[in-house]
Amino acid sequence: MIHSLFLINPSGDIFLEKHWKSVVSRSVCDYFLEAKEKALEPEDVPPVIHTPRHYLISIYRDKLFFLSVIQTEVPPLFVIEFLHRVAEMIQDYFGECSETVVKDNMVMVYELLEEMLDNGFPLATESNVLKEMIRPPTILRSVVNTLTGTSNIGDTLPTGQLSTIPWRRAGVKYTNNEAYFDVVEEIDAILDQSGTTVFAEIQGVVGACVKLSGMPDLTLSFMNPRLLDDVSFHPCVRYKRWESERVLSFIPPDGNFTLMTYHVNAQNLVAIPVYVKQSISFFESGSGGRLDVTVGPKQTMGKTVEGVMVTVHLPKTILSVNLTATQGSYTYDNGTKLLVWDIGKLNPQKLPNLRGSLSLQAGAPKPEENPSLNIDLKIQQLAISGLKVNRLDMFGEKYKPFKGVKYITKAGKFQVRT
Amino acid sequence: MEWANQLCENRQFGSKMTDSKYFTTTKKGEIFELKAELNSDKKEKKKEAVKKVIASMTVGKDVSALFPDVVNCMQTDNLELKKLVYLYLMNYAKSQPDMAIMAVNTFVKDCEDPNPLIRALAVRTMGCIRVDKITEYLCEPLRKCLKDEDPYVRKTAAVCVAKLHDINAQLVEDQGFLDTLKDLISDSNPMVVANAVAALSEIAESHPNSNLLDLNPQSINKLLTALNECTEWGQIFILDCLANYTPRDDRESQSICERVTPRLSHANSAVVLSAVKVLMKFMEMLPKDLDYYGTLLKKLAPPLVTLLSAEPELQYVALRNINLIVQKRPEILKHEMKVFFVKYNDPIYVKLEKLDIMIRLASQANIAQVLAELKEYATEVDVDFVRKAVRAIGRCAIKVEQSAERCVSTLLDLIQTKVNYVVQEAIVVIKDIFRKYPNKYESVIATLCENLDSLDEPEARAAMIWIVGEYAERIDNADELLESFLEGFHDESTQVQLQLLTAIVKLFLKKPTETQELVQQVLSLATQDSDNPDLRDRGYIYWRLLSTDPVAAKEVVLAEKPLISEETDLIEPTLLEELICHIGTLASVYHKPPSAFVEGSRGVMHKRLPARTGSGEGTESPDVGNVAGGSAPEAAPSIIPSQGDLLGDLLNLDLAPPTTTGPPPPTSGMQMGGMDLLGGGLDSLLGGDIGGSPAMGAGFGAAPAVMPASLNAPVGGGLGDLFDLGGGVGMPMGAYIPPKTVWLPAMKAKGLEISGTFARRAGVIQMELVLTNKAMSVMTDFAIQFNRNSFGLAPAGPLQVLTPLGPNQTIEVSLPLSTVGPVMKMDPLNNLQVAVKNNIDVFYFSCQYPISMLFVEDGKMERQVFLATWKDIPNDNESQFQIQDCHLNSDAASNKLQGSNIFTIAKRTVEGQDMLYMAIKLSNGIWVLAELKMQAGNPNYTISLKCRAPEVSQCVFQCYEAVLKN
ipTM (interface predicted TM):
0.84
Nearest-by-Cβ selection for B191 from A44, A162, A199: A162
Mean pLDDT calculated for residue range B319-330: 92
Interatomic CA distance for residues B551 and B557, integer angstroms: 10
Say if residue B836 is in the same domain as residue B915.
no
Tell me whether residues B309 and A203 touch, CB distance under 8 A.
yes
Give the whole-angstrom CA distance, residue B535 versus residue B804: 16
* B876 part of a folded domain: yes
Written in H, E and C, the secondary structure of B358-387 is: HHHHCCCCCHHHHHHHHHHHCCCCCHHHHH
Is the confidence at residue A104, as pLDDT, over 90?
Answer: no
* Lowest mean pLDDT across A128-142, B60-74, B748-762: A128-142
**pLDDT at res. A144:** 58
Name the strand (E) or helix (H) holding A392: strand A389-395
Q: Give CA–CA dist B99/B129, Å, rounded.
A: 12
Q: How far apart are CA B761 and CA B769, in angstroms?
A: 15
* Mean pLDDT across A108-135: 83
pLDDT of residue A163: 59
Residues B936 and B871 in one domain: yes
**Cα(B429)–Cα(B451) distance, rounded to whole angstroms?**
15
Q: Residue B930: which of B855, B825, B831, B828 has the closest Cα?
A: B855
- Is the model's pLDDT at B292 over the cut of 50? yes
Option in B83, B115, B305 nearest A265 (CB): B305
Task: Report the distance separating Cα B6 and Cα B161, nearest Å.
Answer: 44
B856-884 residue pLDDT tens: 888 888 887 888 888 888 888 888 888 88
**Helix, strand, coil % over all residues of chain B, rounded to 5:** 55, 10, 35
**Position B693 pLDDT exceeds 70:** no
**How confident is the model over B26-45, as pLDDT tens digits?**
445 777 888 888 888 777 78
Whether the link from the prior residue into B262 is cis, omega within 30° of 0, is no
pLDDT tier for residue A389 given thresholds of 50, 70 and 90: very high
Indicate whether B821 and B866 sit together in one domain.
no
> Do B812 and B868 lie in a common domain?
no
Q: What CATH number did the domain enclosing B829 receive?
A: 2.60.40.1150
Q: Model confidence over B592-647: pLDDT tens digits?
A: 887 776 554 434 456 667 666 544 443 333 333 333 333 333 333 333 333 333 33
Task: Give the pLDDT mean for B876-895.
Answer: 81
Q: Which residues of A touch B81 (CB under 8 A)?
A: 151
Nearest to B398 by CA among B366, B436, B438: B436
Per DSSP, what are the bridge partners of residue A394? A218
Backbone φ and ψ for A331, nearest 5 degrees, come out as: -130, 150
**Over the stretch B168-210, which tens digit does the pLDDT of each residue have?**
888 888 888 888 888 888 888 888 899 999 898 888 877 765 6
Interface list for B 305-344 with A (CB within 8 A): 305-306, 309, 311-314, 316-318, 338-339, 341, 343-344
Rounded to an integer, the average pLDDT of B314-319 is 94
Beta strands A389-395 and A217-222, pairing class: antiparallel
> How many angstroms separate the CA of residue B658 from the nearest CA in chain A?
25
pLDDT mean over A61-82? 91
How far apart (Å, rounded) are the C-alpha atoms in residues B334 and B326? 8
The HSE-up count of residue B485 (CA atoms within 13 Å, CB side) is 31
Task: Mark whether B864 and B954 lie in a shared domain.
Answer: yes
Tell me, what's the pLDDT at B707? 39
pLDDT the model gives residue B901: 85
B423, B451, B479 - which closes a domain:
B451
Find the closest chain A residue to B340 by CA distance.
Answer: A199
Q: Which of A72, A84, A125 sits opposite B311 (nearest CB)?
A: A84
Task: Identify the domain boundary among B797, B832, B849.
Answer: B849
Nearest CA of chain A to the CA of B467: how many Å?
28
> Is omega for the bond preceding B816 within 30 degrees of 0, making it cis?
no
Under 8 Å between Cβ of A164 and A250: no
* Spatial contact of B220 and B242, defined as CB atoms under 8 Å apart: yes
For residue A33, the model assigns a pLDDT of 93
Averaged over A228-235, what is the pLDDT?
A: 84
Neighbours of B443 (CB within 10 A): 9
- A231 and B265 within 8 Å at the Cβ level: the answer is yes
Residue A150: per-residue pLDDT: 53
> What angle in degrees, to the nearest 10, is found between the helix axes of B79-92 and B43-58?
40
**CB within 8 Å of B482: residues ≥ 6 apart:** B465, B468, B469, B500, B503, B504, B507, B518
> What digits encode the pLDDT tens for the residues A6-24?
999 999 899 888 888 878 8
- Say if residues B770 and B812 touch (Cβ distance below 8 Å): yes
Query: Which member of A126, A263, A415 has the closest CB to residue B343?
Result: A415
Contact criterion met (CB below 8 Å) for B582 and B607: yes
The distance from CA B15 to its chain's CA centroid, rounded to whole angstroms, is: 53
Which CATH code for domain A178-270+384-416? Answer: 2.60.40.1170
Most confident of A346-360, B203-217, B781-795, B903-917: A346-360
Q: List the beta bridge partners of residue B946.
A: B878, B929
Task: Please name the residue of chain B whose CA is at the shortest distance from the CA of residue A43.
Answer: B347
From chain A, pick out residues whose CB is under 8 angstroms from the CB of B303: 230, 232
* 3-class DSSP assignment, residue A416: strand
- Quick check: B419 contacting A, CB < 8 Å? yes
The reply to whether residue A121 touches residue B343, judged by beta carbons under 8 angstroms, is no
- Contact predicate B211/B181, CB 8 Å: no
Q: DSSP character for B26?
A: -
Q: In CATH terms, are A2-148 and A178-270+384-416 the same topology?
A: no
Rounded average pLDDT over B87-100: 80
Cβ-contact B333, B298 below 8 angstroms? no
Domain termination residue (choose one: B802, B821, B849): B849
In the predicted model, is pLDDT for residue B311 greater than 70?
Answer: yes
Question: Which distant-in-sequence residues (6+ apart) come within 8 Å of B476 by Cβ?
Answer: none
Please check the confidence at residue B667 and state whether its pLDDT lies above 50: no
Confidence class for position B761, pLDDT limits 50, 70, 90? confident
Closest Cα to residue A204, out of A145, A133, A263? A263
**What is the rounded average pLDDT of the residues B753-780?**
83
Same domain for B401 and B487: no
Lowest mean pLDDT, pick from A95-109, B274-288, B680-694: B680-694
Percent of all residues in chain B with a pLDDT value above 70, rounded to a whole number: 82
**Cβ burial A28-65 (10 Å sphere, 16+ → b, else e):** bbeebbeebeeeeeeebbbbbbeeeebbbbbbbbeebb
A159 in contact with B at a CB cutoff of 8 Å?
no
Considering only CA atoms, give the Rg of chain B.
35
Which residue does chain B place closest to A73, by CA atoms?
B586
Average pLDDT over residues B228-249: 88
The helix or strand, by DSSP H or E, that contains position B811, with its residue range, turns out to be strand B810-818
CATH number assigned to the domain comprising residue B890: 3.30.310.10
A206 in Cβ contact with A228 (< 8 Å): no
DSSP assignment letter at B255: H
Residues B432 and B366 in one domain: yes
Helix, strand, or coil (residue B19)? helix
Could you tell me if B861 and B960 lie in one domain? yes
- Using CA atoms, how far apart are residues A275 and A409, in angstroms rounded to an integer? 16
Q: How far apart are CA B35 and CA B29, in angstroms?
A: 10
How confident is the model over B546-572, as pLDDT tens digits? 888 888 888 888 887 777 766 667 788
Q: Which residues contact B677 (CB under 8 A, 6 or more apart)?
A: B573, B574, B624, B627, B628, B655
Same domain for B371 and B444, yes or no, is: yes
Contact check, Cβ <8 Å, B54/A80: no
Q: Tell me the C-alpha distance between B436 and B163, whole Å.
A: 57
Average pLDDT over residues B326-337: 89
Residue A44 contacts residue B348 (beta carbons within 8 Å): yes
Do the chains contact at B343 and A313, CB–CB below 8 Å? no
Contacts with A263 from chain B: Cβ below 8 Å: 302, 305-306, 309
Q: Phi first, then psi: give them for residue B289, nearest 5 degrees.
A: -85, 0
Q: Where are the alpha helices (DSSP H) in B207-289?
A: 217-229, 232-242, 250-260, 269-283
| Domain covering A274-380: architecture | Sandwich (2.60)
Residue B444 sits in the same domain as residue B373 = yes
Between B694 and B360, residue with greater pLDDT: B360
Residue B881 lies in a domain: yes
With residue B64 as reference, give the H or E element that holds it: none
**DSSP code per residue over B85-132:** HHHHHHHHGGG-HHHHGGGHHHHHHHTT-SSHHHHHHHHHHHHH---H
Kindly give the pairing relationship between strand B878-883 and strand B903-910.
Answer: unpaired
Residue B78 has pLDDT above 50, yes or no: yes
Select A2-148's CATH number: 3.20.20.70, 2.20.28.120, 3.40.462.10, 3.30.450.60: 3.30.450.60
Contact B718, B686 (CB under 8 A): no
Spatial CA neighbour of A269 closest among A245, A302, A301, A306:
A301
Task: Quote the domain boundaries for residue B874.
Answer: 854-965
- For residue A301, the model assigns a pLDDT of 82
Domain boundaries, chain A: 2-148, 178-270+384-416, 274-380
Q: Residues for chain A: how many in total?
A: 418
Q: Where are the beta strands (DSSP E) in A283-337?
A: 288-297, 306-313, 318-325, 329-333
- Largest alpha-carbon pair distance within chain B? 108
> How many domains does the structure of chain B reveal?
4
Does residue B258 sit within a domain?
no
Residues B385-401 pLDDT 10s: 999 999 899 888 888 88
User: Shortest CA distance to B539 belongs to which of B493, B487, B504, B492?
Assistant: B504
Residue of B nearest to A149 (CA): B44
Average pLDDT of the residues of chain B = 77
Where are the strands (E) in B705-809, listed by range? Answer: 741-744, 752-761, 764-773, 783-786, 794-795
Task: Tell me the C-alpha distance between B303 and B192, whole Å.
Answer: 28
Interface with chain B: mutation pick from A50, A66, A73, highest number of B CBs within 10 Å: A73
Euclidean distance between CA atoms A369 and A418, whole angstroms: 10
Sequence length of chain B is 966
